[in-house]
Chain A
């Protein structure tokens, strides 16, 4: 084949079908929006049940995590996510699915080396860099206080 690598890469990139970004964005917007609206509704319901604001705000993500993990277990979450894309990935539902799905898959390797070790393969980097970023943010916040 008389085509150098650079030309070939450009050739294949130019001709490959692209993801339908506008359609994907619209789907992510309405499903993601629906999840957030649902969460807001939950917050109001919990407050109506005489919970403190703080407790209600803690219980909302816990409920979303529970529901996402449950739907993952029932094999429904991935079908919704295939449609919604970032709509289910960005809210905490995506994080719950990223934890639950490897746990289901890797139970065949046992509770320790399977579920325990593999559960964090996708979500692990989010936790590591999430914590790291919060530390850096905390240091900046502290410095601002000291200087300011």
Chain B
């Protein structure tokens, strides 16, 4: 069994999202707690800016949940930078047990899942799940210099400058993380860095079909099924192939990478990506909709492309992963 049902489902008691200018200009702009149009957040390097975003996001999540930093028992966090330095420097000042994670764009779901499992098992009472990505630090590491004059492929995605933090607690009034399902690594032979949606979609399909098969649930049992960050191309592939598997996602399915930007006007091609993309959409937008009562039952399925610049240069294919987190307004949901 891959679906893990949490008998002591933890509650999300604080959440916040911090974004850059482009993300703030997007359709969800008003939902984010803090933004800096320059993307610098008062720092002199992009790497420090990303760390600062994580620090701000966690501080805001704590203050919105009316919690002190002493109350959290552990932090699960990650980002896209080499050796996860974005998280290490950003969360240094909290002086809390820290688990550094790398799941590429799936990191926020991985952090939420591990936080929930630890709380469910009784090891911790309160955990923080944090992740971030910064367009400028990611471009430098994975693609070209920022001022390099090139054209992007139509299937390319835009790394979000964003960070999200959520505080999970053994006590609270919801929403709750009631089920989680760790993804398995799936590689269907895609090696095009400019089509990450196609590289990650098979992992999303694997996780979703396994979840529906094991639980006997159907897509329409949910208010929303949200992948993070397949973009337009990956979403479309997932929708088509899930239909072949016998699951019609038409009514309830969307993707964090598409929600974050207004596609045509913002020139992001297939949509957003990066660890901060789904983290900010969940912590900025989705959890607010839970608070308003607009959503009660959401399957959040963050996908990650597990390649490195060197593996790509060596011609290796891009493995994908998709971790599932079921968020419900009911503790038994």
Interface footprint category on B: 20 to 34
Residues 25-64 of chain A, each 1 if its beta carbon lies under 8 Å from chain B, else 0: 0000000000000000000000000000000000000000
In the complex, A94→B149 CA distance in Å?
Answer: 7
Q: What does the 1/0 interface line of B137-151 toward A look like (CB < 8 Å)?
A: 000100011111111
In the bound complex, do residue B44 and residue A108 qualify as a contact, i.e. CB atoms below 8 Å apart? Answer: yes
Q: Do A9 and B190 touch across chains, with their CB atoms under 8 A apart?
A: yes
Contact A5 B241 (CB under 8 A): no
Residue from A3, A9, A17, A122 within 8 A of B148 (CB atoms): A122
- Closest CB-CB distance, A14 to chain B, in whole Å? 11
Q: How far is the CB of B87 from chain A (nearest CB, A)?
A: 19
CB distance from A90 to the nearest CB of B (A): 11
CA distance A15 to B240 in the complex (A): 11
A135 an interface residue at 8 Å Cβ cutoff? no
- Which A residues are CB-close (under 8 A) to B316? none
Q: Is the CB of A122 within 8 A of B155?
A: no
Q: A101–B146 Cα gap in the complex (Å)? A: 7
Q: Quick check: B147 and A105 within 8 Å, CB to CB?
A: yes
Is B13's beta carbon under 8 Å from chain A? no
In the complex the two chains form, what is the Cα distance from A24 to B154 in whole Å?
12
B45 CB-CB contact with A under 8 Å = yes
Main secondary structure on chain B at its contact with chain A? Answer: loop
B202 interface residue per 8 A CB criterion: yes
B147 x A77 contact (CB < 8 A): yes
Give the docked Cα–Cα distance between A75 and B148 (Å).
9
Could you say which of A18, A19, A72 contacts B147, with CB atoms under 8 Å apart? Answer: A72
> Which residue on chain B has the smallest CB distance to residue A108?
B45
Interface string of A68-98 (1 = CB under 8 A from B): 0000110101101110010011000010011
A80 touches B149 (CB 8 A): yes
Q: Which residues of B contact A97 (CB under 8 A)?
A: 147-149
Chain A, residues 1-20, CB within 8 Å of chain B (1/0): the string is 11101101101100111110
Asked whether, in the complex, the Cβ of B150 is within 8 Å of the Cβ of A81, the reply is yes
What are the residues of chain B within 8 A of A100 when measuring CB–CB? 147
State which residues 141-200 of B face A: CB under 8 Å: 144-155, 186-190, 195, 198
Task: Name the residue of chain B whose CB is nearest to the CB of A107.
Answer: B45
Q: Are B195 and A12 in contact (CB under 8 A)?
A: yes
Quick one: which of A1, A18, A19, A72 contacts B206, CB cutoff 8 A? A1
A82-B151 contact, Cβ under 8 Å, with A8-B202, A12-B190, A12-B195: yes
